[in-house]
A and B are shown apart, each in its own frame.
Chain A
């Protein structure tokens, strides 16, 4: 009897807590769903417009009256294929080279102690605060002298994207710092060289940060407009997808003729990135939080 008397208020309190938790969860989920819908609207609109075949200009409705793949067929019979390949080559090369540079830089700054190490890190921090655009004119002059502009902009753009790679070491260095140094020391005693330690011990443990570095290195050139526009000087052979697609909407007349084609291009550009993100999403989130919180 006594037991029931004490149990009842505890049960009531427990039920109350459970109910309030359910209400707050519901509110959170409703807000999240609304936000997701708002963020998805432009993308859904572009996808729908890309299948519209009754007209090529901007219209005031979202769902096409007539559906078809005409825009996609047209897309691959235009310069778009060239731009797509250009962008893919640039992004791939940059992803590989930049990842190698960033990881080596991060490992060096995390593990080695040398004179001016701190000075170098501070210098890079300050340098990173200046917008890259400031260097655009001089970069163009240099690249132009080297013959890497206009139609031949591919190597020029790769050079520009890769040049400042080393400065993106912060997140991965933070992650490397959380890996105990005694692992390096144990490996050194075991007979491993520095390169073997990085390759066999550190990188397998830093998988999330490696994925994160690859993704960010790939994403930068894939979506870049400003540098690509400037270096390619709108020469069709030297453009990437962002510049190419924008060139289709350069004037009102062009927008009138190319809007749905532009939407189809936008969808095709988004596909590989979306697939990449979906596959590597888990590592990407782990990489960002792992490095930031622990470092």
Chain B
């Protein structure tokens, strides 16, 4: 296979290279990063026959225009964009063949917030500490640790043999710009006044404009703490709902720091994190309480959906 590139004509709002994340270095403060919607990242890879760990492009709200310099197979999963290749509409959640010289253009965003573009063989930037994932704040991974810019060349492989067209079942995207996310309470739910968990599940929180890949600041009724004691800073994971003294919760997302000193009232379950990744500032979140067993059952259902994609005959 020979190396080629996708040339960035227009980068879109925030297009970054992501893989499953940079695990194994949190002890020295290296954040994990990775896709905001891991389900759609994996589905996009699956559709072109890639390993789930292959790097994709995460496309946010406004998509890019790319000049394709190799013959290959691609797929788009996640947010629903009107996308076209040389003016011809391309399908979502379905692989498609492209030829060198074609232009892939993302148009209007119809639903969701983030799409994942996979390329057969994956995006071939050099890894940093074992991962190609872009972490924007520390400037690590991806292309020079930043979002794509005009003129960038994203390295990909030219394909030697054609791959079958594969169709998948995509994530159920948020409707009406709101989503319900299930939460396992803890580890510090006992730091809050007795009504706080009820306050968390009883209302809608609006995602603040001051939100990004690190976390979503949530606007809603403050969650009252029992007292002002300080938590000794401790390791955190994606999905943590941490509550600073202001009482305004922050949902930690893909680019979160490795540790934090705010109490966590709960963690969003892994199966619902992809849905969270499809939300944007101004969208609404409602929380529901869930058990850990329920969380694992939901994740298994998710995995089944991911594998429920089938090869189709070319042209069908």
Are A and B subunits of one complex?
no
**A contact set with B: CB distance below 8 Å:** none
